[in-house]
Amino acid sequence: MSLQRAASMRKAKLMKRSKGDIIFDAVIFVILTVIFLIVAYPLYFIIISSFSDPAAVAGGMVVWIPIKPNLRGYEEVFRNNAVVRGFLNSLLYTSVGTLLNLVVTLPTAFALSRKEFQGNRFVTVFYLITMFVNGGMIPTYLVVKSVKFLDTIWALIVPGALGVYNMFICRTYFKTNLPNELIEAAKLDGCGNTRFFVSIALPLSGALIAIMVLYYGIGHWNSYFSALLYISDKNKFPLQLVLRSILIQNEAQLAQQGVSTAQQLKEQARRRELVELMKYSLIIVSSIPVMIIYPIIQKYFVKGVLIGSVKG
Amino acid sequence: MNKPVDSGESKTTIISKKVKENFEFWLFVLPGMIITFIFHYVPLYGIQIAFRRFSPRRGIWESAWVGFDHFERFFNSPYFLTTITNTFILSFYSLVAGFPIPIMLALMLNSFRHKRYRKIIQTVTYAPNFISTVVMAGMLLLFLSPRVGIVNNLIGIFGLESINFMAEKSMWRHIYVWSGIWQNTGWNSVIFFAALAGVSPEFHEAAIVDGATKFQRILYIDLPTILPTATILLILNCGSMLSVGFEKAFLLQNDLNLSVSEIISTYTYKVGLVQNDMSYSTAIGLFNSVINSILLLTVNRVANKLSGHSLI
């Protein structure tokens, strides 16, 4: 009896919050809400601006809701050939690149997850070294140039085909998720390593593959540095380089030069507003692929960080 | 290890099986190793152009050997102090301002009772991590634009004069660092949040029964739990003190803020691929990575002495 009472008292103590704790919780609630607003508002602002009237955006009237909602910014984006071409190029680079990443990374990680592999230590050290020393921008550029990769998709996807950090995440995953008994049993049935990898290991690794597609895919979609170095043909520019020329270098200013009449000046001002508005729409359009896969893969990526943090 | 399946199996078949198995594993790792060798090891060999007067026509071996000339040139150039100081200030500022915030966010989220709201905050704060650098820089330019930017519109409401942020030298570092914090805090908190999930609830229950307040529990239970993770991340960050990424700084640069925004990596790029002085650029890059390695080893040693947690 007394034991039960002690237990229930204990429970009551756990349930009850002291006055100090209630205040503490309230403070945390306020701080978190402020953080939430600071992060969310700029994103929200871009969305509502992209649908608003150009003049209203330029005049600072758009604050909480879109003003005179319309799609002119988006029309302008899709009328821009460079953007459309860049978008398609990026889709190609991202899908081929991510596929290559998987084809190279997963088998390597699988082999390194097996104790029977006698080259294990050597290969691991081989990759660890690359995390600490590198040739730098110019020597790497010279190699890419000498294998004739300049101005091709290969320059963007082959050099980084295996991300060492990602590979170690995969290795840890295979190590912890493929029980030894399973492998032994498969071997008894005459299943070789290749067959085991393709028809048992991969089908069991859906979460891992999802994480890798997210990490590698978004990396390709968002990268601009390697394209800046290796791609000079404008027709092959990925979207991020096109974005750079419009958002950063302001090269979308198509306004006619040398005008003087009031009518033309007014027209020019309107045009400038439209170009500014288009930037908001462009930001949204360029984020569409990421926005599509973000919610799908969200439940996996925290897991990815977890696997990575278990052992590097 | 590969155990004999039945007692009748002879030693030679086991060995041949082992060889076959390892051969398969080598095929698994080969593609990745070839690519990594070509694009990460061969450039190491190219580093020697830092000690030569490299001309693409002559090739690496035929270019004249000049010893440490390029390094001396860099040490004597006015850019030496500027770029190193700028790089150092930028990463030191980022580290001091940006390191504690994800830890605090994780602690607050972890102690927060309302699960749904917590989930929403996490989803929103992770999202900016997936915004590309180009879009991030584009957003900053849009928001901070002197004529039509939302920040200046807000300032205008209070009757103050608009500020041309990107032309203001004193603003540049704050913009760079705080936009980085805005973008990365959520994602950087994931790893701490995951570590906190490992705290056994019994600790908290025992502490509550003993009358500990919530704040005390965070201080004496949660914080010590994430300390090892935090130390290792801090070491890694300190070690890369002089390797501030090229991408964002380059995009936010303009002629007016160059005296604070020119960092080692952007300077290396301009010298090497815009001015085509490849040897000089490689020398600067090499100098930078040597300093980085020294920093990493030093910080690691100090951290090991102070806290017992270390990386290597």
Domain co-membership, A84 together with A39: no
Count how many pairs of residues, chain A against chain B, have C-beta atoms within 8 Å: 250
B254-288 pLDDT tens trace: 888 899 999 998 999 999 888 889 999 999 999 98
Say whether both B131 and B253 belong to one domain: yes
Q: In whole angstroms, give the CA distance from residue B166 to residue A81.
A: 29
A258 and A199 assigned to the same domain:
yes
- Of A194 and A294, which is predicted with more confidence? A194
Q: Is the ipTM of this complex over 0.90?
A: no
Give the total number of structural domains in chain A: 2
Q: Are residues A189 and A148 in the same domain?
A: yes
Contact A274, B122 (CB under 8 A): no
C-alpha–C-alpha distance, residues B167 and B164, integer Å: 6
Which of B28, B137, B251 lies closest to A108 in CB terms? B28
Asked, for residue B260, whether it belongs to a domain, the answer is yes
Identify whether residues A159 and A104 lie together within a single domain: yes
Mean pLDDT of chain A: 86
Lowest mean pLDDT segment, chosen from A167-171, B32-36, B43-47, B209-213: B209-213
Minimum-distance CB partner of B28 among A111, A144, A306: A111
- At residue A215 the predicted structure's pLDDT band, cuts being 50, 70 and 90, is confident
Q: In the structure, what pLDDT confidence band is assigned to residue A14 with cuts at 50, 70 and 90?
A: low
From the candidates B20, B134, B192, which should be mutated to test the interface with A, based on the most A CB atoms within 10 A? B134
Query: Angle CA(B122)–CA(B191)–CA(A41) in degrees, nearest 5?
Result: 25
Same domain, A160 and A282: yes
> Both B49 and B149 in a single domain?
no
Domain that holds residue B99: 77-307
Pairwise CB contact (< 8 Å): A29 & B112: yes
Least confident of A207-221, A225-239, B232-246: B232-246
Residues of B in contact with A35 (CB under 8 A): 105, 121, 125, 185
B164 and B37 assigned to the same domain: no
- Residues composing chain A: 312
pLDDT of residue A159: 94
Whether A298 shows a pLDDT value over 90: the answer reads: no
Task: Specify if A269 maps to a domain.
Answer: yes
Nearest to B180 by CA among B120, B140, B144, B215: B140
Distance of CA B249 to the CA centre of its chain: 14
**Bridge partner residues of B53 (DSSP):** B64
Mean pLDDT of all residues in B153-162: 82
Report, as an integer, the average pLDDT of B108-125. Answer: 88
Report the Cα B256 to chain-centroid distance in Å.
Answer: 27
Question: Looking at residue A180, which CATH number applies to its domain?
Answer: 1.10.3720.10
In a domain, B1, yes or no: no
Same structural domain for residues A28 and A138?
no
Domain-located, residue B5: no
Q: Does the residue B4 lie in any domain?
A: no
Domain count within chain B: 2
Cα dist. B176→B180, B228, B252 in Å? 6, 29, 8
Alpha carbons A297 and A30: distance in angstroms, whole number = 29
* A143 vs B contacts (CB less than 8 Å): 38-39, 42-43, 46
Q: What is the mean pLDDT of residues B68-96?
A: 91
Mean per-residue pLDDT, B91-99: 91
**Interface mutation vs chain A, best among B58, B214, B217, most A CBs within 10 Å:** B214
**A128: three-class secondary structure by DSSP:** helix
Residues B46 and B86 in one domain: no
Question: Is residue B2 included in any domain, yes or no?
Answer: no
CB contact under 8 A, B132 and A243: yes
Both tokens assigned to B27: 């095929």
* Domain ranges, residue A40: 2-50
CATH number of the domain at B131, please. Answer: 1.10.3720.10
Please indicate, yes or no, whether residues A222 and A119 belong to a single structural domain of this protein.
yes
Are A144 and A83 spatial neighbours (Cβ–Cβ below 8 Å)? no
* pLDDT tens figures, A159-208: 999 999 899 889 988 988 888 888 888 888 888 888 899 988 999 888 88
Exposed, middle or buried, B81 (CB in 10 Å: 0-12/13-18/19+)?
exposed
Angstrom distance (rounded) from CA B131 to CA B140: 12
- Residue in B95, B127, B122 with CA at minimum distance from that of residue B193: B122
Structure tokens at A255: 């306004």
Residue B45 has pLDDT above 50, yes or no: yes
Nearest Cα residue in chain A from B154: A60
Does the distance separating the beta carbons of B272 and A137 come in below 8 Å?
yes
DSSP annotation of B64: E
pLDDT surpassing 90 at residue B152: no
Tell me: do B252 and B184 sit in the same domain: yes
* pLDDT above 80 (res A300): no
Identify the residue with better confidence: A212 or A297. A212
Q: Is B21 on the interface with A (CB under 8 A)?
A: yes
Question: Contact at 8 Å (CB) between A120 and A112?
Answer: yes
Q: How confident is the model at residue A312 (pLDDT cuts 50, 70, 90)?
A: very low
pLDDT digits (tens, 9 = 90+) for A17-62: 778 888 888 999 999 999 999 999 999 999 999 998 888 887 778 8
The amino acid at residue B235 is I
Task: Report the pLDDT averaged over residues A91-97.
Answer: 96
Residues 6+ apart with CB under 8 A from A293: A213, A214, A217, A218
Taking contacts as CB-CB distances below 8 angstroms, the residues of chain A near B273 are 137-138, 141, 229
CB-nearest partner of A32 from B121, B194, B213: B121
- 8 Å CB contact of A123 and B246: no
Query: Same structural domain for residues B88 and B217?
Result: yes
In a domain, B284, yes or no: yes
Cα(B226)–Cα(B216) distance, integer angstroms = 15
Residue B65 DSSP symbol: E
For all residues of chain B together, what is the average pLDDT? 86
CB B233, CB B102: distance < 8 Å: no
- Comparing C-alpha atoms, which of B205, B19, B178, B162 is closest to residue B94? B178
Q: How many alpha carbons fall within 13 Å on the CB side of residue A18?
A: 12
Question: Is A67 inside a domain boundary?
Answer: no
| Among A59-68, A212-221, B92-101, B282-291, the least confident range | A59-68
Q: What residues in A contact B111, CB-CB < 8 Å?
A: 25, 28
The whole-number pLDDT of residue A2 equals: 65
SS3 B119: helix
